[in-house]
Amino acid sequence: MTAERFIVPIGPQHPALKEPGHFEFTVEGETVTDARVRLGYAHRGIEKATESRSWTQNAYLLERICGICSHVHALAYCLGVEKLAGVEAPPRAQVIRALVSELERMHSHLLWLGVAAHEAGFDTLFMYAWRDREQVMQALENLTGNRVNYSANVLGGVKCDVTDDHRRQIMKMIKSLSDRIDHYLSVVESDRALLQRTHGVGTLTHEQAESLGVTGPVARSAGVTQDLRRDAPYAAYADFPVRVMVAQSGDLKARFLVRLNEMLESIRLIALMLDHLPAGDLEARMPRKIKAGETISRVEAPRGELFYYIKSAGGDMPERVKVRTPTLANMASVIVLSVGHQLADIPMILAGIDPCFSCNDRMVTAITPQGNQVLTWAQVRQYGIDFYKRQAERAGS
Amino acid sequence: MNTLTTLAAIVIFPAGLFLLANGLVYDWIDRKLVARMQNRLGPRWFQPFADMTKLFIKEDTTPQGAHWLLFHTLPVIALAAVLTAALFLPLFGLPPLVSFSGDLVVTVYLLSLLTLCIGLAGQVSGSRYTIVGAARVLTQLFAYEAPFLLALLGPALVAESWQLTLIMQANASAWILASQPIGFVIAVLSLMGKLEMPPFDAPEAETEIVAGALTEYGGAGLALFLLAKKAALVSGLTLIAALYLGGIASPLDYLLKTLVLLLMMAMAHAVLTRFRIDQTASLWWRWGLLLMLAQWALVLIAKGG
C-alpha cells in the first residue's frame, strides 16, 4: 500500500450524477477511507431573485427550484404568505393542495425507485418503475395542465378543480399502481441479487440519524418517527391523518421499504381525499401588498422537511425568502456513511438520500487563492462584472 | 486449398470480416432482447454498425499521462487475439480452419488475451477511473478464468481429447449438457463474466467508474476493443455450443444453438442486479470452482466405473 492517497473524484460531471455535485472519495483498494463533498455548481440565485418580484410572481419562480417536488415549494411559499397576510385558503383548496402533494410524492418516489435501481445496475426495475411513474404524470397533467411545474397553487388557494372525470381517472390510476407497488415491495424484499446490494449496506443508526439531523424517508428508515404531515399538519392533513411509515434497520433496504410503503399510504390518502372533497370556493382574496412581518412555513416534501422563512416589509415584494431543502439536511449522512464502504456502494448510498443538487445549492462563496471567502452582494456583483470583462477580453484578443 | 482461398477464409468468410459482422448483429440481437424484456423498443438493426462507423470516423486522441505505444497497440493486439482464436472454432457451422491437438486450450488463452489487453489498457491510460477499472478487470479475470477453463475441459475429459473437432465428433450423439449441466451453467455464466456483460459488469459500472478500463478510449481504439468483444461473444457462444450442445453441424444448427444461448444470457442480464466485484469473486471461487470440481469428480468416477 502506497502512502499516496488515491482519490476517486465523482462529479461535477459523472454518469452517476444527474446534476452537478463534486465528491472526492479516498480509496484503499475498493474500500472508501475518506469522503469530501463540494456543492454549489448549480447555484441559481433564486432567493435573491424573489426580492425583486411581486408576491404572485414568486410562487411561480419558487416552484422552479425543484423539477421533481415543485408543488411543495409553491405550497410552502403560499402557506407562509397566507399566514403573513392573515388569509386562509378555503377547505376545498386545502384538500386539493394535499391531493397534489400526495400525487407528487408518488411520482417522486417512483422516480427515486428507478434511479436507485439504476445505480445498483438493475436497469429492468428502473425501466418498469419509470413506466409506472408515467401514469402519475398523466394524472397530474390532466388535473393541472402541466407535467412538471404544475402551478396548482395560487396565493389564497388553488387554480385547478377536481372534476368527476379527474376523480375517475385518478381512482383508476391508483388502483393499477397499488398492484405494481405491491409487486415492487416483494421484489425489494425477496430478490436476492438486489438484496445483496441493499441489505445491511449504508446503515444509518438511530443515533446518527438524530445527530446528523437527517429528515424525511432517510430519517424514517432509521427509526426516527418524524413526518410534518403528522407533527405539524398543514393544508388538509389535519383532517386526513397520515400513518407514518417507519423502518428500524436504517440500511438501503429500509429506505426502499419506507418509500414504497409511503406510496401505498399516499394511495390510501388520495382515495380518501377524493371521497371527502369538501364543496366550496377554490380561492380566497389576497391583498396585493402583504403587511410587514416574518414567518416560517414547513411542509413535508417527498425528500423530507422543506423549510421556508419569509419576511415582508409591507410592500408588494418580499424582503427576504430563505429556503432550506431536505437534501441539504441529508447530505452530511452521505459523507459519514461512505467511509468504510466499497466504492461500488457509493452511488447507491448517494442515491439513497434522493439528492437534488440544484435545490440545495445556495451558498455565496468564492474559492480564491486565499481560501474560501464569504462575499457581500456588492462584491459578488463586482466579481461577476470583472469575470465577464475578463472573458470578453480573452475572446477579443 | 490454395493460398488465396485460405486467405479469403481468414480475412473474409467465415472468420475475419464475417465474424465481425456476425458479432455486431448478435450485439444488436442482445440489445434488442434486453430492451424488449425491459419494456423498451431497443435499437434498430443497423445501430451497432452505425456506432462502429461513427467511432472509426472520430478523432483518435491520446490522454495526458498515457503510454503512447501501449495505448495504441493494445486494441490491435486484443482484436488480433480474438480473430486468431476464431480460426480454431467451427464458425457458422463450417469446419475450423485450423485444427490440431490441444487447440481448445490455445483458443481459451487467446480469448483471455482480450481481457488482459483491456486490463493493461486501463493501467496505461493514466486515469483514476481506468486504474480502478483495470484492477476490477483483472480481479474478475482471476475469478472466472479457472471455472471457465474447467467447464470447457469437462467435455474434453469425456472425449479424451483436447482437440475441438474430435470432441465434437465424440459428443455428437449425446449432448454433454445432459450429463454435465453444472459445467454448462458455469460455462455460460463465466462467458458473461469474460465479456463483462451485466450482472458481471462491475469492471465497467458506469455509475461508479464511468466506463472502467476503457474510459479514456474513443475513436478507433475504442472501436477495435468493442469489435474484439463482439467477436469474442460469437467465439464464446460457438465454443459452448460446440462443446455442450452436441457440436455444430450446419449453419442452421449454429444459428439455432448460439441464439438460444444468447437469449439465456439476455435473460440473465435483464433479471439480475449488478454484482459488486468482491461478490463476483466470492461467487466464482466459493461456488463456481467448487461445483466445477465436484462435476469433474463425478465425471472421473463415471469414467472409471
DSSP A167-235: HHHHHHHHHHHHHHHHHHHHHHHH-HHHHHHHTTSS---HHHHHHHT--HHHHHHTT----HHHHS--T
Q: What are phi and psi of A185, to 5 degrees?
A: -60, -45
Closest among B199, B193, B212, B205 to B132, alpha carbons compared: B212
**Mean pLDDT, to the nearest integer, of A103-129?**
90
Is B37's Cβ below 8 Å from some Cβ in A?
yes
For residue A342, what is the DSSP state?
A: B
Q: What percent of chain A has pLDDT over 90?
A: 29
The residues that bridge with A10 in the sheet, in sequence order, are A23
What pLDDT is stored for residue A192 in this prediction? 83
What pLDDT is stored for residue A365 in this prediction? 53
Tell me which of A32, A127, A133, A253 to substitute to probe the interface with B (most B C-beta atoms closer than 10 Å): A127
Task: Count Cβ atoms within 10 A of the Cβ of residue A272 and give its class: 0-12 exposed, 13-18 middle, 19 or more buried.
Answer: middle
d(CA B125, CA B70): 9
Joined grid coordinates for residue A61: 419562480
What pLDDT is stored for residue A295 in this prediction? 92
Task: Count Cβ atoms within 10 A of the Cβ of residue A333 and give its class: 0-12 exposed, 13-18 middle, 19 or more buried.
Answer: buried
Amino acid present at A144? T
Which has more pLDDT, B113 or B16? Answer: B113
d(CA B151, CA B148): 5
Q: How far is A218 from chain B (nearest CA, A)?
A: 21
d(CA B41, CA A131): 13
**pLDDT band, very low/low/confident/very high, at A369 (cuts 50, 70, 90):** low
Closest among A226, A229, A230, A220 to A255, alpha carbons compared: A220
**Mean pLDDT, to the nearest integer, of B73-81?**
92
pLDDT at residue A340 is higher than 60: yes
What pLDDT is stored for residue A1 in this prediction? 43
Which has more pLDDT, A140 or A373? Answer: A140
**pLDDT band, very low/low/confident/very high, at A3 (cuts 50, 70, 90):** low
Amino acid present at A347? P
Chain B residues with beta carbon closer than 8 angstroms to that of A346: 208
Which has more pLDDT, A297 or B13? Answer: A297
The SS3 assignment for A241 reads coil
**pLDDT band, very low/low/confident/very high, at B260 (cuts 50, 70, 90):** very high
What pLDDT is stored for residue A368 in this prediction? 60
Cβ neighbors of A96 (< 8 A, separation 6 or more) are A152, A158, A160, A161, A162, A277, A282
**pLDDT band, very low/low/confident/very high, at A105 (cuts 50, 70, 90):** very high
Joined grid coordinates for residue A134: 408515467
Q: What percent of chain B has pLDDT over 90?
A: 22
| Residue A342 to residue B273, Cβ atoms within 8 A | no
What pLDDT is stored for residue B232 in this prediction? 92
pLDDT at residue B144 is higher than 60: yes
d(CA B137, CA A53): 55
Q: What percent of chain A has pLDDT over 70?
A: 95
Is B206's Cβ below 8 Å from some Cβ in A?
yes
Under an 8 Å CB criterion, which residues of A touch B? 6-9, 14-16, 27, 29-30, 117-124, 127-128, 131, 191, 193-194, 196-197, 342-347
User: Residues 125..144 of B with a Cβ closer than 8 Å to A: which?
Assistant: 128-129, 132, 135
Average pLDDT over chain B reads 86
The residues that bridge with B258 in the sheet, in sequence order, are none
Q: How far is B272 from chain A (nearest CA, A)?
A: 6
Name the most confidently modeled range: A31-40, A109-118, B4-13, B161-170.
A109-118
What pLDDT is stored for residue A395 in this prediction? 77
**pLDDT band, very low/low/confident/very high, at A7 (cuts 50, 70, 90):** confident
Neighbouring CB atoms inside 10 A of B36's CB total 13
What pLDDT is stored for residue A366 in this prediction? 53
Lowest mean pLDDT among A10-24, B62-76, B180-194: A10-24
Is B216's Cβ below 8 Å from some Cβ in A?
no
Tell me which of A1, A123, A180 to substitute to probe the interface with B (most B C-beta atoms closer than 10 Å): A123
**Candidates A9, A117, A197; nearest CB to B128:** A9
- Is the peptide bond preceding residue A355 cis, with omega within 30 degrees of 0? no
Is B234's Cβ below 8 Å from some Cβ in A?
no
**pLDDT band, very low/low/confident/very high, at B14 (cuts 50, 70, 90):** confident
Average pLDDT over chain A reads 86
**Mean pLDDT, to the nearest integer, of B45-69?**
88
| Residue A193 to residue B273, Cβ atoms within 8 A | yes
d(CA B124, CA B126): 5
**Candidates B39, B210, B278; nearest CB to A15:** B210
Joined grid coordinates for residue A330: 441529508
Q: Per-residue pLDDT tens for A204-220?
A: 888 888 888 888 899 99
Neighbouring CB atoms inside 10 A of B106's CB total 17
pLDDT at residue A267 is higher than 70: yes
d(CA A204, CA A338): 11
b vs e for B184-210, b when ≥16 Cβ sit within 10 Å of the residue's Cβ?
A: bbbbbbbbbbbbbbbbbbbbbbbbbbb
What pLDDT is stored for residue A371 in this prediction? 64
Q: Per-residue pLDDT tens for A172-183?
A: 999 999 999 999
Q: Per-residue pLDDT tens for A52-100?
A: 999 999 999 999 888 888 899 999 999 999 999 989 899 999 999 999 9
Is B31's Cβ below 8 Å from some Cβ in A?
no
What pLDDT is stored for residue A80 in this prediction? 92
What pLDDT is stored for residue B213 in this prediction? 85
| Residue A347 to residue B40, Cβ atoms within 8 A | no
Neighbouring CB atoms inside 10 A of B2's CB total 6
Neighbouring CB atoms inside 10 A of B105's CB total 15
